[in-house]
Structure 1
């Protein structure tokens, strides 16, 4: 029989619900793995074995009382910027080292209501605003395949834990690729849902207001789609939440092949001349060829964004947002702030109202450009990240595609889709130099099921 940590979350829930396996037994299995493997990874930064077991025993009691719990006993990790009631949730920042969450985030409450068990809190970069996972509170998280490398960020703790079998699902956040890129670096599926599909009406104030979402991580596309089905929901307290019910049954869609007439576009550089390592590109091209060989028409085509997107348009908004929320701490507590974050706050303080207005207005032509593109194509396929994981201690690779790279050079392929609010999923696409790479699938807003259906097709072709 497949080991519990190697199986699917859906199978675990089915076994617990059928009483073939108790939630407590599942919890003990994962508690042992965390205790044995996490010290070397530093992926989970809050872990209470007694609380995990008690929560699992409550699930068993609810089942015995006749409750229907679709996610019964499934262990899930929660990123350290999403509230979990009664837990210390720091956002990776010393400024919040003593913060205890007063309630569960909406998605966490939903998970618990469905019978899932919170296994632990996963590490993230400070305020989830850096592409690697280290901070002054907990230190660095290490890549599960090579401890000398970073898993990326900001949801690096979530992916490192999941890839190491510490849990079966994970919640992260994604404001510019913070779920998708680490998923690609660690061989996982990472989905950024359509903006507002998973309600997030309370929690920490968000530096990247209007583009950040609760993101989903799983070991396979079917589990990721199933998690989306369970968590999709409306709450009037979330200004971005979709007021119409969504009944797409994404997990069911992943079992079927996409229609042969699907118009698929492959864009290796997103029309922006973004640099990408040659061997990473070769691995992704191989997956695109497999799609064509299997009978799907794939056209090489680029969205028309305009020149401004090459300068990472989220920067000004993120920097200003950070300064607005935390800049007052710079004078008295700069030593308690990650130097990279302090520099971002300084940049935010220097941003003029005119510059902010231009950044906000830039969103309109970017959204319009992608909308025009989706009039011609149903799905866009592109790289998730242009590189494999890089050494710990580096903010990013110094060179990408034989060209000098800035600190965000590794992150250029993901943030535009946050600005547009569209669904985007990273699916594993083989390995380069022994390290995973990911292919990103994108579609128009509310076409999450189609995105995951194509991701599942690529997953099957990769076997």
Structure 2
């Protein structure tokens, strides 16, 4: 089902047509499954589909529509959920052979809220093992591919989710973000992807965390309005998650928004077109009643990488050891290596990482300064060939495994909100994203700046790929 321009319907368009009686939940679901049938073999987006459960949910939504009792804008809208999130009755394989047969007994809170909003969960999307890679290639399900060019990766670890949304198979997906896993893939596929403040989307049931509280549930959409619709549906406090009970940040009123921007940190590699996109967006926001000032990056990239290395290795070891007799034979090579590193760490190494994390958090707080948000790259480069672990070259320099997280993981370390917003595409047509990072709890400010940037952009967004 398409709009007047031939593009897949957005979630907001679907909601409007459902309200007007111009379509039905059953018709939207049939269209989604038809798109998935055409495209999924090429894209590797979905790893599990639930046609019976989705059909039952669509019938119930259709009955509410007929009775004039729709539950809200997501009632009847098809949606995807990343495979590391728990959906009762559907497999949650975590991209791992060790969890190939696992079916969780309960919904995570965000999934509960999707069901309560009447959304139609069509299935689960591809993720690398333990959702611990910047490239989605699961030992259980194989790779996810970028809908803009299937020779490119969609990134990770939410590669299946962005492939599903960018290709128009569904308009929305729940994802996760522990080191950039929502924002980076969004930037590679022309989507809006947000990692909210810790606790904005409460959590209860799920896999053990890889790195303390670095991971948040993320939201993905082809438009900012769609993404915000999903965020609204799953946000808000829940007593089962004490972190969700903290209040929102301070309102900003009576003065222009102050935006600090940077396009580099130290001598780290960054694609020149990525840097140029950030500078262009800074100039546009300066013309949109914002006070825009250049700033240095407020974090120590070496410290972030050091802490992430210890925490992620420890998390991999803890998860692997749930299957002590299986993991060495069944884990992918990267996870097996990370788990071995984690098992080799001493308690003092972990405590020093905690000290390092505290230093990161106090350091960012002290250097944040007088800005409301920061504007910076989402990723150091656009998407790269799918058969490579990481970009071979970035900005004329040798790439490496951590290069794409240069501008992402610091946000997870401090628990703040950040969104990737599509920018002017690369000269070769690959999507690019810029990132807006806000103070803790000021998720609404981040979305406001994204909305302002959308309203003043001077380039035409390319047509979404048609599948």
Instruction: Output the TM-score relative to the length of structure 2.
Output: 0.92
1:195 aligns with 2:190: no
Residue of structure 2 in register with 1:58 after alignment: 60
Whether 1:445 aligns to 2:440 is yes
1:381 CA displacement: 0.4
1:110 positional shift = 0.4
Pair 1:351-2:351 in alignment: no
Matches within 5 A, 1:123-138: 123-138=126-141
Structure 1 match to 2:262 = 267
Q: Conserved in 2, the CA contact under 8 Å of 1:421 and 1:445?
A: yes
Q: 5+ residue gaps in structure 2?
A: 461-467
Corresponding residue for residue 147 of structure 1: 150
Q: Residues 362-399 of structure 1, C-alpha deviation per residue, up to 9 Å, x if partnerless?
A: 22222223223444111100000011111112211132
- 1:356 deviation in Å? 1.1
1:184 aligned onto 2:187:
yes
Cα distance, 1:461 vs structure 2: 2.3
1:28 corresponding residue in structure 2: 30
CA deviation map 1:30-58 (0-9, x unaligned): 11111111111010111233432222111
C-alpha distance in structure 2 between counterparts of 1:259 and 1:177, whole Å: 33
Please name the residue that 1:461 is paired with. 456
- 2:83 maps to which residue? 80
In 2, Cα distance between equivalents of 1:325 and 1:159:
25
**Structure 2 SS opposite 1:431:** coil
Aligned length: 454
Question: 1:434 — aligned with what?
Answer: 429
Aligned to 2:145, what secondary structure does the other structure show? coil
Q: Is this contact kept in 2: 1:312–1:412, CA < 8 A?
A: no
Secondary structure of the 2:142 match is coil
Of stretches 142-151 and 41-50 in structure 1, the one that deviates more from structure 2 is 41-50
Partner of 2:294: 300
Pair 1:328–1:247, CA change in 2 (3 A): closer
Identify the match of residue 323 of structure 1 among 301, 314, 317: 317
The answer to whether the 8 A contact 2:174-2:220 is kept is yes
Map 1:26-425 onto structure 2 (within 5 A).
26-65=28-67, 67-70=69-72, 71-244=74-247, 261-269=256-264, 271-306=265-300, 308-309=302-303, 311-327=305-321, 329=323, 332-425=326-419
Shift in alpha-carbon separation, 1:110–1:5, aligned structure 2, 3 A? farther
Query: Could you tell me how far apart the structure 2 residues matched to 1:248 and 1:116 are?
Result: 31
CA contact (8 A) 2:50 2:90 kept: no
Give the alignment's Cα RMSD to 1 decimal: 2.3
8 Å Cα contact 2:277-2:434 kept in structure 1: no
TM-score, structure 1 length as denominator?
A: 0.92
Question: Does the CA contact (< 8 Å) of 1:5 and 1:166 recur in 2?
Answer: no
Q: 1:248 to 1:165 in 2, by over 3 A?
A: farther
